[in-house]
A and B are shown apart, each in its own frame.
Chain A
């Protein structure tokens, strides 16, 4: 089972440094922080089938662990992981196409999707800044695709108020993002 997040507020640079030092907590956080990102590139970007996506996902993190010492700019961990993930997924597709023809992934569509996934990552970071209950509410509704009823039961909220709460949280999220756009570089956690 995935572990609890003990170091969620470290910058990417600090997280990578601690991983290099052998911190298990830092490694767990690195996996937690980038798992959705890698998963999205494998699935939404390259359209890998579940079993291939799972293998690719493990391969990416195995390579990250083995090659972390070769990363030159620790703050660039996300773009480095994106490159690793692309390479691993392309290898998977090439191997699959030797066995049976696979649907071609157009470069243009792939670039557009990965760009959106990068934007989604920035939104996710802003969402984490909002904290609870907005973070959980928006994540459950949009990312986990849960119904108002399920969310209401889980969070002990009347189902009839979920829509208005989601709307209020989206307003807060937009304000957070617009504040960030003015003050923060677009990639990497810089705290």
Chain B
């Protein structure tokens, strides 16, 4: 650790400037993580319990997600696709 310096005006201005706001879209997307995870968990649980739904997901992921009543948001679809690919690979 370096010695703390005095808070002169120039330094204060520079330090305030170091923490520029993150883009609004990034912050909004991060705030939606709990809802996103919940959607994923529900879809995965249903796929594990319902063979027909699982086959529908494999056949047409987006349509199956929408058909189950969920918004087929790109990151939900991407994450499901990744998980399904991992399962097939593993």
A residues with a Cβ closer than 8 A to B are 1-3, 22, 24, 27-28, 31-32, 35-40, 44, 54, 57-58, 61-62, 65-66, 112, 115-117, 119-121, 123-124, 127, 138-139, 141-145, 167, 170, 173-174, 177-178, 181
CB-CB < 8 A to A143: which residues of B? 16-17, 19-21
- Answer whether residue B33 sits at the interface, using C-beta atoms and an 8 A cutoff: yes
- Answer whether residue B22 sits at the interface, using C-beta atoms and an 8 A cutoff: yes
- Answer whether residue B13 sits at the interface, using C-beta atoms and an 8 A cutoff: yes
- Answer whether residue B24 sits at the interface, using C-beta atoms and an 8 A cutoff: yes
Q: Name the prevailing secondary structure of the A interface residues.
A: helix
A172 to chain B, nearest CB (A): 11
CB-CB < 8 A to B34: which residues of A? 22, 24, 27, 65
Interface stretch, picked from B1-9, B45-53, B56-64, B65-73, is B1-9
CB-CB < 8 A to B23: which residues of A? 54
On whether the beta carbons of B12 and A173 are closer than 8 Å, the reply is yes
Closest 8 CB pairs of A and B: A39-B22, A142-B16, A120-B18, A61-B30, A36-B19, A2-B27, A120-B15, A35-B22
Q: How many A-B residue pairs lie within 8 Å, measured between CB atoms?
A: 107
B89 to chain A, nearest CB (A): 18
Q: Name the prevailing secondary structure of the B interface residues.
A: helix
On whether the beta carbons of B30 and A31 are closer than 8 Å, the reply is yes
Q: Told that A139-B16, A143-B19, A173-B12 touch, could you supply 9 new A-B pairs with CB distance under 8 A?
A: A31-B31, A32-B27, A39-B26, A57-B22, A58-B30, A65-B33, A123-B12, A138-B13, A167-B9
**What's the Cα separation between A117 and B14 when bound, in Å?**
10
CB-CB < 8 A to A138: which residues of B? 13, 16
On whether the beta carbons of A177 and B16 are closer than 8 Å, the reply is no
Partner of B24, one of A2, A112, A124, A141: A2
CB-CB < 8 A to B28: which residues of A? 1-3
Question: What total of chain B residues lie within 8 Å of the partner, measured CB to CB?
Answer: 28
A119 to chain B, nearest CB (A): 6
CB-CB < 8 A to B4: which residues of A? 119, 181
Partner of A58, one of B13, B18, B29: B29
On whether the beta carbons of A40 and B20 are closer than 8 Å, the reply is yes
On whether the beta carbons of B33 and A121 are closer than 8 Å, the reply is no
**What's the Cα separation between A57 and B15 when bound, in Å?**
21
- Answer whether residue B37 sits at the interface, using C-beta atoms and an 8 A cutoff: yes
- Which residue among B28, B30, B34 has the maximum number of chain A CB atoms within 10 Å of its CB? B30
CB-CB < 8 A to A117: which residues of B? 18-19
**What's the Cα separation between A142 and B21 when bound, in Å?**
11
